[in-house]
Chains A and B, each alone.
Chain A
Amino acid sequence: SYELTQPPSVSVSPGQTARITCSGDALPKQYAYWYQQKPGQAPVLVIYKDSERPSGIPERFSGSSSGTTVTLTISGVQAEDEADYYCQSADSSGTYPYVVFGGGTKLTVL
């Protein structure tokens, strides 16, 4: 089955830039989406279609794509950004596409 691979953890100091990657063979053909999830809360969409930001999401969140890897970048990380981050995309190799999540990355703000 199709998999999206994320690093289990990323650590940064406040004010630095955090980069979280997500790798998958179908990413050149399918958009990626990114979610932030804080403990005890439902996920929040922070990036859609590789690099678009939903309304209400701070400008410090950005997304990019290169080949089989997409990257979520958080510039000027703040303490409130500490959370789990998940990428999402689609596996279109079967009869119909279905959604896949990456394993998640825990962002720690030191």
Chain B
Amino acid sequence: EVQLVQSGAEVKKPGESLKISCKGSGYSFTSYWIGWVRQMPGKGLEWMGIIYPGDSDTRYSPSFQGQVTISADKSISTAYLQWSSLKASDTAMYYCARPLYSSSWYGFDYWGQGTLVTVSS
């Protein structure tokens, strides 16, 4: 059974750093892209970027380029999303997701449960 299990909720202060994780299981982790999606409170879905764990090829949405870093450790089948200096506007639910097809970026058919990040002084 394919599963994406994300790390737990975080409460941080502005300016702090953070790294959240997404562990894949039940499939070949290195053969599928993993994407990250932001959902701010009461708002819609926003695609942040995507990584291919097989070779760590990473692409970012222009809106998130330079704001976050996406990485992966294929030895433990885990993808990461990190911030070096959080802002209050980073408060959101963050999802990782896997596309339907190993060759595709699109059509996420498996999703993590989400990680709620709250940034408040």
Contacts and interface: CB of A to CB of B under 8 A. Distances in A.
* A and B part of one assembly: yes
Contacts of A1: 62-63
Nearest to B111: A42
Interface in A73-110: 84, 86, 88-90, 94, 96-104
**Interface of B, helix, strand, loop or mixed by DSSP:** strand
A98 B46 CA distance: 11
Contacts of A86: 44-45
Given A42-B113, A96-B59, A97-B105, A103 B44 contact: yes
- Chain A interface category by residue count: 20 to 34
B106 A99 contact: yes
B59 A54 contact: no
A43 B113 CA distance: 10
A31 interface: yes
A4 B106 CA distance: 15
Interface residues of B, number: 24
Given A1-B62, A48-B100, A96-B59, A35 B45 contact: yes
Contacts of A35: 45, 108
A103 B42 CA distance: 12
Contact of A99 (B44, B105, B112, B113): B105
Contacts of A102: 44
Interface of B: 35, 37, 44-47, 50, 59-63, 95, 97, 100, 105-109, 111-114
6 contacts: A35-B45, A42-B95, A45-B108, A49-B107, A88-B45, A104-B44
Interface of A: 1, 31, 33, 35, 37, 42-45, 48-49, 54, 84, 86, 88-90, 94, 96-104
